[in-house]
Amino acid sequence: MANISLQNISKAFDYKPILKDISLHIHQGERVAIIGKNGAGKSTLLKILNGELEADYGKRILEGDLEIQMLAQKPNFQEGSTTKESVLQALTTLNQAKQSLEQIAKSLQNAPYDKELLKKHSKLSNFIEHHNAWDLENKIQQILETFDLKELENQKVEYLSGGEQKRVALACLLLIKPDILLLDEPTNHLDVEMVEFLENLLLKEKYTLVFISHDRYFIDKIATRIIEVEDCKIREFNGGYGDYLKAKEALLKSLSKSHQTLLKHLRMEEEWLARGVKARVKRNEGRKERILKLREEAKKNPSLIKKMSLELEREHKHFNQLEGTNHKKMLFELENISMQMGNKILFKNFSTRILNTDKVAIVGKNGVGKSTFLKLLLGRAQNYYGTLQKGGF
Ligand SMILES: Nc1ncnc2c1ncn2[C@@H]1O[C@H](COP(=O)(O)OP(=O)(O)O)[C@@H](O)[C@H]1O
Ligand SMILES: [Mg+2]
C-alpha cells in the first residue's frame, strides 16, 4: 500500500516559525481533516504534503508510485481555457487509458492468448477501475450539473468568480481521483446540495483525502482522523468531530488535574523555602530554580485552561446545534457579526443559523436594529464585521 509521511518538518516564513518538528503519516483509504485557527499553518502543511512547498527542515517521504493532487485555497488555471477544456485536459490521462484499452481489446480478438497484450489489458483495466472511470462521461455530466457548471462550460475559467473557479478545480480533481487528494477548504463555495453530493461521492468512491475545513458537519461526516494545528505543533485525534470534542474534553480534564497536582507540590516547596534554605548548597540552588519554574507554570495554567474550556464550550454549542438540525438546508449562517451605526452598537459578536422552514420572529424596541438585521440578511448591509454565509437559494 502506498503512503505519504512527513518526518520532523519545520517551516518558518520571514523568521516567524509556522510549523516546528512535525511528523505525520497518511495511509491509503484515510480521510484526514486538518483543523485550526486562521493563520495557524494549515495551508502551509497541506502545501508541504503536496510537495509544492519545501520545508526548512525535515523529510517528505512517498512510498510507492503515488499520484497526489491538491485543490488550493485559491486555484490557478491555465489562461485561455474554457471550463469544458479544463475538465477535458484534467482527464487526458484517463481518456488515453480508455482509448488504449479499446485498441488492446480489438487486438486481443485476433490474438486472444498474447501474453503481452493480456498483461497490458489487465494493467489498464486496473488503472481505470482504480480511478472509477468506466462510466466517465456520466460522471462528468453529473459533477458539472451538480456544481452548476453546465452553463459555464464555454466560458473562460479566468473570468469566472472565485467560487466558480474553485468549483471547476474541484470538479476536475474529483474526476481525476488521484491516489491522495488534498483539499484546502473545499466546501467554502458550495451550497448545501453540492456539499451533500461531495460527501456521498468521497465516501462511496473511497477517496483518500487530506482536507482543511471549518465546516464541523462536513468534518464529522467525512473524517476518519483529525489533525489540529496549534502553536506550530500538531495534535492528532481519531474519528470525526464528535470524537475530537470528546478527546479535547478529556485533555482539558487531565490538564486541570495536573494543575491541581502542581499547586499541591508547589505549596510544599514554598513551605520548604519559607523554612529558610542554606545558601550555596548546589542541590538547594537547583531546587530553588525548579520552584521558580513551577511558579511560572502555575501562573500560566489557569488562563490556558480557561481559554481551552471556553473554546470547547463554544464548539460544543455549535456542534450540538448542528446535530439537532438534522441537516436541514441552511439558509443563513452568521458568525460573530458586529455592526455599528454612528456611535451606536447594533450587534456585537452575534452568531446564529437560520434553516429552511425555520420561523424566526425578530423582536425588540424601536431603533435597536431589527430592520438593519433584515437588510443584513438580504445582503444590503456592508459595514459589518464577522462572517455571513448564505446557503444556495
Ligand atoms: N508564502 C508566504 N510568505 C510569507 N508568509 C506566509 C506565506 N504563506 C503563509 N504565510 C504566513 O504563515 C502563516 C500560516 O499561513 P497558512 O498556512 O496559510 O495558515 P492557515 O491555512 O492555517 O490559515 C500566516 O501567518 C501566513 O501569513
Ligand atoms: Mg489556509
Average pLDDT over residues 4-32: 96
Please give the distance of CA 152 from its chain centroid, rounded to a whole number.
27
Query: Taking phi first (over 0 means left), then psi (-120 to 50 degrees means alpha), and beta for anything else, what does residue 209 get?
Result: beta
The preferred substitution site among 14, 15, 18, 50 for testing ligand 1, maximizing ligand atoms within 8 Å of CB, is 18
CB-ligand 1 contact for 54 (6 Å cutoff): no
Give the DSSP H or E segment for 372.
helix 370-378
In this prediction the pTM is 0.76
CB-ligand 1 contact for 39 (6 Å cutoff): yes
Q: Find the 48 Cα to ligand 1 centroid distance in Å.
A: 12
Question: Do 63 and 10 belong together in one domain?
Answer: yes
Q: Is residue 222 part of a domain?
A: yes
Q: For residue 40, which atom of ligand 1 is closest to its CA? A: 22
Contacts of 186 (CB under 8 A, 6+ apart): 71, 170, 198, 211, 213
CB-ligand 1 contact for 44 (6 Å cutoff): yes
How many angstroms separate the CA atoms of 94 and 100, rounded? Answer: 10
Question: Do 60 and 200 belong together in one domain?
Answer: yes
CATH code, domain carrying 52:
3.40.50.300
Question: Do 261 and 200 belong together in one domain?
Answer: no
Phi, psi for 211 (deg, rounded to 5): -135, 145
Q: Find the 229 Cα to ligand 2 centroid distance in Å.
A: 11
pLDDT in tens, 162-196: 889 999 999 999 999 999 999 999 998 888 888 99
Q: Is residue 223 part of a domain?
A: yes
pLDDT in tens, 326-370: 556 778 888 889 998 888 899 999 988 888 778 899 988 878 889
Question: Do 8 and 60 belong together in one domain?
Answer: yes
Contacts of 101 (CB under 8 A, 6+ apart): 121, 124, 125, 128
Q: Is residue 24 part of a domain?
A: yes
Q: Is residue 131 part of a domain?
A: no
Give the total number of structural domains in the chain: 3
SS3 367: coil
Contact 121/101 with Cβ under 8 angstroms?
A: yes
Question: Do 308 and 331 belong together in one domain?
Answer: no
Whose Cα sits closest to atom 25 in ligand 1?
39
Neighbours of ion ligand 2 (CB under 5 A): 43
pLDDT in tens, 248-299: 999 999 999 999 999 999 999 999 888 877 666 778 888 889 999 999 999 9
